[in-house]
Amino acid sequence: MERGTEAQKYVWEGAIPLQIHLHESEVTTLPPPPPVMILAPRIGYLPLLAPQIKPLFSSALPPGADTVWFDYKGLPLKWYIPTGALFDLLCAEPERPWNLTVHFRGYPANILIPCEGEEAVKWSFINSLKEAAYIINGNCKNIMNMSQSDQVELWRSVLNGSLDVFLRVSSKLKLGALEDEYAAKLNPSLKKSKSCVGNIENSGLNKTGRVPVRLYIRIVSEDFDDLENAPEVDSWEKVSYINRPIEIPKGEGKYLSLGDAMKTLMPEYFGNKSLDCEEGVDQEVEEIAYPEDARGKNNAEEEVASTAAGEHPALGCQARNNEVKLVRVHGIEPKLEIPFSWVVNNLLNPDYFLHLCVCVKSSPSG
């Protein structure tokens, strides 16, 4: 029987309180329908909320066919990005409840890829999973050959947020975890228990040493002291995102921290200065304040403190005119010194991608 780590449980239970308003152009009744309050799972996708929301607005809608989509302050939200990643990316200072506008008409087909209900979301998820499998195993046979019933069960586990079911079905996909030798070093007894190494034993280790990462980058040109003053994202032009595998170096004694991984993704921003690599591995392991620190912040009720999580002494560092303002995964702002393997084994989305949000300041004068 597969058991998730404590952090995985927090990730799966994570939810964002939404307050959803019907767009004024679609209101045909007086008084207009009141906004709907709903908890949106972080690992879920916005269109999946439609069955719950629609009945509450349907009487106010004009006649016509429905295609649901959402916007935040006028920015159409890309439904194929997990809700938690959207929130981390677009709300530098978390807004609770998160005020979104729902539309059932006028789908912006030039901006968003079509979404015809749950089936489209499911295929987008499976495609993403397939890509992750390819990165991890060098092929996606295990996904292609998944039985119909496993496929249904896997998707339902994502819909229902049931981690146990997900772990049971996904273990058949052999998308192994990373070896977490630092956890073992820290406490040798952990090697035998499953609590820290997740589902390594049944699924085998990651063979290619490649980890699927989806990186979201917000670029701001003006500086701000407080996250509250961060400029709004009014266009997708101001955001970059890309799927980019991270290669885990092989061999003894090669320690890869989250910061090292970020450096391979964005060398211009996470330059050498951003991490103090002079310290020995042992000392770094000690300093990790192992998962406790990150885990404590990842509260299911989204009470992630925007302050204490990381003082980020490293983040103040500048490479030319570039500056990293924020690194966020599932609402946590993890310290860059924590082992990348821990991040991967605990904070993946169900599509096996690590969805990382970064906010950077880039001066045009560079």
Question: Which residues are near other proteins by CB under 8 A?
Answer: 78, 80, 109-114, 127, 130-131, 134-135, 138-140, 144, 212, 215, 217, 219, 236, 240, 242-245, 264-269, 322, 360, 362
- In angstroms, give the least distance from the CB of 70 to other proteins: 17
Largest Cα separation within the chain, whole Å, is: 69
In the complex, least distance from residue 148 CB atom to other proteins, rounded to whole angstroms:
16
* Least Cβ distance, residue 41 to other proteins (angstroms): 23
Q: Positive or negative CA dihedral for 309, 236, 130, 257?
A: negative
The residue (of 10 and 270) whose beta carbon lies closer to other proteins is 270
Rounded to the nearest whole angstrom, what is the least distance from the CB of residue 181 to other proteins in the complex? Answer: 26
Using the minimum distance from each CB to other proteins, give the nearer residue, 51 or 138. 138
Pick 190 or 319: Cβ nearer other proteins: 319
Contact 52, 38 (CB under 8 A): yes
Query: Tokens at residue 359, please?
Result: 């906010």
CB-nearer residue toward other proteins: 347 or 356: 356
Nearer to other proteins, 154 or 217 (CB): 217
Is the bond preceding residue 364 a cis peptide, omega within 30 degrees? no
Measure the N-to-C terminal CA separation of the chain; round to a whole number of Å: 54
Q: How far apart are CB 235 and other proteins at their closest, in Å? A: 10
Tell me which residue of 108, 41, 33, 119 sits closest to 78, measured CA to CA. Answer: 108
HSE-up of 299 (CA within 13 Å, CB side)?
9
Give min distance, CB of 360 to other proteins, in A.
Answer: 6
**Rama region for 364: left / alpha / beta (φ>0; ψ in -120 to 50; rest):** alpha
Closer to other proteins by CB, 224 or 236: give it.
Answer: 236
What is the C-alpha separation between 157 and 35, in angstroms, rounded?
A: 28
What sign does the CA torsion over 242, 227, 38, 27 have? negative
Which of 171, 264 has the CB closer to other proteins?
Answer: 264
- The label of the residue with tokens 């980019």 reads 244
Residue (of 39, 89, 94, 15) closest to 305 by Cα position: 94
State the nearest-atom distance from the C-beta of 123 to other proteins, in Å: 8
